[in-house]
Amino acid sequence: MNINQLPDLTRDWSGTLAEGTIYKVENGSFILLNQLPFKSSVTVLLADSIARADVELFLKLADKYHLQTCYAGIFNESGVDGVIFIHDRFDNEYSQELKFLDWKIDAFHAGSLPDTSKTGVILMDMDATCVQCECIDEMAKLAGIGEQVSAVTAMAMKGHMEFQESFRRRVALFNGKSESIMDTVEENLPVMPGFAELVKKAKSYGWKLAIASGGFTRYVTKLKNEFGLDYVIANDIEAVDGVFTGKVLGQIVDSKVKANTLLKLKEQYGVRTSETIAIGDGANDLPMISLAGTGIAIHAKPVVREKAPITINHLNLHAAAAILEASTLLSKIKTY
């Protein structure tokens, strides 16, 4: 069957391509196979809606890198349409090009995905990952120091300043400001779309969920209590008589602490590296993203997008729930 004979939207392909079967894709033709001949890497396309034209663009790119490709199926998870393709090998250059394509699809190429039948751990950043803001920037706006704090935040997230230094600089700017601004930010904390769905999906597999944040303990604790997370770690800002002193209390949660938190949780729950997922958006998230079996950059700065194995540029955390669903479907597909 030629791809031009398929419906315009991939969500309608199940009526034309039999579910649970494998098709090798060659020169725009879908050739039915009895079993999958290879399973060395995977490409997953994710979007609110995926058109046949999007798949054609992807197939041209795979051909450019001389990848043998099989179509393995479609799915929908948390409102996200997905298409799974399997290849004969992993190609890093192809993976990098997928990340920066100017299209509406979130697509990634990976050597493998986690086994959701086993216990796993998801470790996330908080600011601009689990919530739709940088909490310290929101506090700064209320305190009348928004521009000064945002400038330092931007430098840190781009990797232009060591995180501990940037954090101390930002906290110092709050000296003499009212602690009550934390109440306002906490009451209006904008949870990232898809966060609740990701938590529900992960829990259905018995997975553990945690946050390691360069933000503040008060906010991660709110998320922990509301969503039933298993572990959180963040920073504390000193206040005396309801007024900030501009000092940090205790250890600062930086990139090293985040990476060590992933290792700690992995050991605590007896989880294999392949069943760990780390999600973040900033340069200080890269060490934990690199250590995880599946590292995901979401709405990330270019330097983070380039180095992370998987990037989500358009969707929100619904995409991470969809990746878990793709993992489940992929695990059921057998090779010769």
* Residues assigned a catalytic role: 125, 127
Question: Which residue has tokens 């290879």?
Answer: 38
Residues 6+ away with beta carbon under 8 Å from 55 = 3, 10, 45, 83
Cβ neighbour number for residue 224 with a 10 Å cutoff: 17
Q: What share of the chain is helix, strand, coil (3-state, %, to 5)?
A: 40, 25, 35
CA distance 118 to 28: 37
Tokens representing residue 179 in the block: 């602690």
Q: How many CA atoms lie within 13 A of 136 on its CB side?
A: 30
CA distance 236 to 167: 11
Q: State the Rg of the chain over Cα.
A: 22
Question: Which residue has tokens 């409102």?
Answer: 79
Tokens representing residue 42 in the block: 């995977």
Q: Which of 32, 83, 91 is nearest to 53 (CA)?
A: 83
Tokens representing residue 187 in the block: 């009451």
Cβ neighbour number for residue 212 with a 10 Å cutoff: 29
Residues 6+ away with beta carbon under 8 Å from 172 = 246, 247
Q: Which of 35, 37, 36, 3 is nearest to 17 (CA)?
A: 3
